[in-house]
């Protein structure tokens, strides 16, 4: 193992040895799962150690090697690899794409959440195809486009929408915000996250507050930033005024309507 690492380090400092890939392939075919795991950890460690000064050519070479090494290792090793690569400025792109598309959300999530090299088209495909673990990671990205946000709103459960609602980097369309307000009416943490946003349009803020229960409204008022407390109070008052103007039907009214509905229709 030490010789493999030294061979790879020498290749990095000069030029890739022509038979390096062939030698690694031979070891992978003949070696045990433990050996493949140790090789992946060693080569990944070399990359992380030198990542700040590698050229694109060297990164591409690491990309090829790491892909080969990662094909037959256990999930926890891949999860560790994903976490170690996610925040790097320069990452092996194809490896990152494969990790982001991995079936296991623990493997995919670190890359989906933080890696900036994943193409938008890949993120959109993953958002359409994968389940909540992948979607939550995408919802937490530094920037979420309107198209991605709409897909997450359509496909995500409440846990996904909570992350998206609290993400200031998520750009939502007016239709997307309307969907989020609907969700906030059913899920208090979503309403809390929306109220905390500094970019929430005034009419959306008002809708969130007015469609909340009195107890939820009191909590939202407590959570609201000083600069929007007056707007929250105004929305609470407007909701109360609307409720007073449109009181629920009395028991007698309800009975009368039910009776009318049961009468036979005559021409």
Tokens of 74: 């256990």
Domain of residue 30 covers: 1-118
Do 99 and 25 share a structural domain? yes
pTM for this prediction: 0.81
Give domain status of residue 68, yes or no: yes
Cβ atoms of 1 and 38 closer than 8 Å: yes
Q: List per-residue pLDDT tens for the chain, 267 residues long.
A: 444 445 455 444 433 454 556 666 666 676 677 888 888 888 888 888 887 888 888 888 889 889 988 887 899 999 999 999 998 888 899 999 999 999 999 999 999 999 999 999 999 999 999 999 999 999 999 999 999 999 999 999 999 999 999 999 999 999 999 999 999 999 999 999 999 999 999 999 999 999 999 999 999 999 999 999 999 999 999 988 887 776 655 545 545 445 544 544 343
> Please, which residues bridge with residue 144 across strands?
170
Do 71 and 166 share a structural domain? no
Give domain status of residue 15, yes or no: yes
The string of pLDDT tens digits covering residues 70-83 is 887 899 999 999 99
Do 104 and 63 share a structural domain? yes
Dihedral Cα 254, 236, 172, 112, nearest 10 deg: -100
The string of pLDDT tens digits covering residues 89-119 is 888 999 999 999 999 999 999 999 999 999 9
Give domain status of residue 62, yes or no: yes
């Amino acid at each position: 193992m030490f010789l493999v690492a030294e061979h790879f380090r020498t290749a990095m400092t000069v030029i890739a040895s022509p038979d390096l890939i062939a030698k690694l392939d031979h070891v992978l075919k003949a070696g045990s799962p433990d050996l493949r795991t140790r090789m992946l950890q060693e080569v990944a460690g070399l990359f992380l150690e030198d990542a700040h000064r590698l050229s694109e050519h060297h990164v591409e070479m690491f990309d090829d090697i790491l892909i080969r090494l990662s094909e037959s290792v256990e999930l926890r090793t891949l999860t560790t690899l994903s976490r170690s690569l996610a925040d790097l400025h320069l990452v092996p792109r194809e490896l990152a794409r494969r990790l982001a598309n991995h079936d296991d959300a623990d493997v995919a999530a670190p890359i989906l959440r933080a890696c900036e090299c994943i193409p938008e088209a890949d993120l959109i495909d993953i958002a359409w195809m994968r389940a909540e673990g992948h979607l939550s990671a995408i919802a937490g990205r530094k920037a979420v486009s309107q198209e991605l946000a709409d897909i997450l709103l359509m496909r995500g459960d409440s846990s996904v929408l909570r992350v998206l609602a609290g993400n200031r980097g998520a750009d939502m369309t007016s239709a997307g915000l309307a969907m989020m307000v609907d969700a906030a009416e059913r899920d208090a943490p979503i309403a809390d996250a929306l109220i905390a946003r500094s970019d929430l349009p005034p009419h959306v803020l008002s809708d969130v507050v007015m469609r909340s229960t009195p107890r939820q409204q009191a909590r939202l008022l407590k959570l609201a930033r000083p600069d929007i407390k007056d707007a929250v109070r105004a929305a609470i008052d407007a909701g109360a005024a609307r409720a007073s103007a449109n009181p629920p039907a009395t028991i007698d009214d309800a009975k009368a309507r039910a009776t009318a509905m049961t009468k036979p229709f005559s021409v």
